[in-house]
Amino acid sequence: MSGKGLPPVLDTAGPQADPIATLSWVLIVGGGVILLIILVALGIALFGGAWRRKFAGERMVIIGGILFPVVTLTGLLTYGLGLTAGLVGTEDADPVRIHVTGEQWWWRVEYLEPARFTSANEIVIPVGRPALIDLASDNVIHSFWVPELAGKLDMIPGKTNRIRLLAEEPGVYFGACAEYCGGPHALMLFRVRALPPADYARWVRRESGSAMPPSESLAAEGAALFQTLGCGGCHQVRGTRSRGLAGPDLTHVASRLHLGAGILPNNKGTLGGWVANPQRLKPGVKMPAYSALSARELRALVTYMDGLE
C-alpha cells in the first residue's frame, strides 16, 4: 500500500498486515454498498408511490433478511478463515527472535537471536527478515500493536503468545499498548525500527556491547551521580555497576528515538525534563522525580546519558 494520507491500518508495510488492509477495503466498500441498498429500500418504503406495496411481503424478508446474508456471509467467512490460517501458519527458516514483556507502563525488550541483550521501548528489526516476538507479562494484561506491520496480540500473565513481524521497507513504525493496563496506559507507546540488513548488523554489534564510557569530564561527573543517586537500583547500564531491572535498560538509551515509552523525542532537553519530573510528563509513572538536583547536576546527568549511544 502506498496511498498518501491513509491511516496506518490501511497503509501497511508488511505481509502480516497487507492482507488485512485489503480485507478492510473489501469490508468498507461491501458494507457501504449494503448500507446503500438498505437505505434505498427504506427510502422507497417511506417515500415511494403506491407501487411500492407489491414488494412488501414475507418474500422481501426472506430474500433480504435470510438468503442475501447467508450467501454473503458464507463467502466472507471462507475468505476470513483462509486469511486467518495464512497469517498464523507461516514457518520461517531464519527468523530474528525477540522476547517482549509488557510492564506498567513500558516495554522490556530482550533480543534472543542473533544476539542476546536487553533494551527497552524500541524494537529494531532487519528489513525483509521475519522477527518472531514472544509476548509475555508478569503483571497485568497488555496488548502489543504495530498497526502498519500486524494486528494486535495480547500479553497475558501465565501465557506466552508469539507474533510475527516482517517489514518490507526501512522505516519507523508506531506501536502502542492496546489493552487497558491501568494508570498511564494511554502513554505506553513504542516504535519498531526496520533497518536495512547491513545497518541492522552494525546496530546489533553496537547495541549488544557494553555502555560507552563517559568521554568528557561533565559526563564522568554525571556517571558518578548516576551511581550515588541510586539510578542503578532500577536501571541497568551494562558495563557499569548499575544492574537494576525494575526499570528500562539504559545501556544505549541515547541511540533510541524516544523517551518515556515512546512519548517524547529523545534529546537533552526532554531527558533533563524527564529526570527532573517524570510525573509531569507521564502521570503515574513509577520513576520518582529528581527535582532537588541542581542545574549543574542535572546537566551532568543528562550529558552522561546522552552519551550512552
Partner 1 sequence: MTEEEAAFHAAAKNLPDPRPRPEEELKILEEVWRQPTGWRLPTAVNNNIVGSAYVGAALLFFVLAGCLALLMRSQLATPMAEIVGQETYNQLFTMHGTVMMFLFAVPAVEAMGVLLLPQMLAARDLPFPRLSAFAFWAYLVGGLVFFTTIFFGASPDGGWFMYPPLTSYVYSPGSNADWWLLGIGFIEISAIAGAIEIVVGVLKTRSPGMSLDKLPLFGWAMLVFAGMIIVGFPAIILGTILLELERAFHWPFFVAEKGGDPLLWQHLFWFFGHPEVYIIFIPAAGFMSMIVPVVARARLVGYRLVVAALVATGFISFGLWVHHMFTTGLPPISTGFFSAASMAVSIPAGIQVFAWIATIMAGERARWNVPTLFTVGFLIIFTMGGLTGVMVAMVPFDWQAHDTYFVVAHLHYVLIGGMVFPLFAAIYYWVPMVSRFALSERLGKWVFWLMFTGMHLTFLPMHWTGFAGMPRRVYTYLPNMGFDGFNLLSSIGAFTIGAGVALFVFDMARKFRMTQEENAGNVYGGGTLEWLPNGSYAARSIPIVKSREPLWDNPELGDQVEQGQWFLPGAPTHRRETIVTSPLKAIPQYLVIIPGPSWWHVIAAAFTAALFLSLTVKLTLPAALFGVIAIGAMLRWAWELDKGPDHEPVDVGGGLKLPVYMLGNRSHAIWAVWVLIVVIGMIFACMVFSYLYLWSVQPDRWPPAGTTLPSPLHTGTTLLLLAASGGLLTVADWMLTRARGKAIVLTPFLGALMFLILAIAGDIWQWSATGLRPGESSYGASVFTLGFLNSLNLFTVALMVLFVTARLLVGRTDPVRRLSFDTTRLLWLYTIGQTAVSVVFAHGFPRLVS
CA dist 29 and 35 (Å) reads 10
Helix (H, G, I), strand (E, B) or coil at 14: coil
Residue in 1, 87, 220, 229 binding partner 1, rule: CB under 8 A:
87
Q: What are phi and psi of 175, to 5 degrees?
A: -135, 155
Q: Which is nearer to partner 1, 79 or 117 (CB)?
A: 79
Question: Binding of partner 1 at residue 267 (CB under 8 A)?
Answer: no
- How far apart CA 271 and CA 103 sit, in angstroms, is 21
Task: Select from 7-15, 164-172, 208-216, 238-246 the region that touches partner 1 (CB under 8 A).
Answer: 7-15
How would DSSP label each residue in 152-180?
-EEE-TT--EEEEE--SS-EEEEEEE-S-
Contact status: 20 vs partner 1 (CB under 8 A): yes
Considering only residues 97 through 126, tell me which ones interact with partner 1, judged by CB under 8 A: 104
Among 140, 234, 257, 289, binds partner 1 (CB under 8 A): 140
User: Using the rule CB under 8 A, is 143 a contact of partner 1?
Assistant: yes
Stretch in the footprint of partner 1 (CB under 8 A) among 78-86, 120-128, 211-219, 294-302: 78-86
Q: Which is nearer to partner 1, 109 or 187 (CB)?
A: 187
Cβ contacts of residue 121 below 8 Å, gap of 6+?
Answer: 106, 107, 109, 190, 191, 248, 256, 258, 261, 262
190 close to 165: Cβ distance less than 8 angstroms: no
Kindly state whether residue 288 participates in binding partner 1, applying the rule CB under 8 A: no
Could you say whether residue 189 binds partner 1 (CB under 8 A)?
yes
Q: What residues numbered 144-173 form the site for partner 1, per CB under 8 A? A: 145, 147, 150-154, 156-159, 161
C-alpha cell of 152?
Answer: 494486535
Closer Cβ to partner 1, 114 or 183, answer by number: 183
For residue 49, count other CB atoms closer than 10 A to its CB.
7
Please state the closest distance from residue 284 (CB atom) to partner 1, in A.
Answer: 6
Please select the residue that binds partner 1; options are 38, 115, 172, 201, rule is CB under 8 A: 38
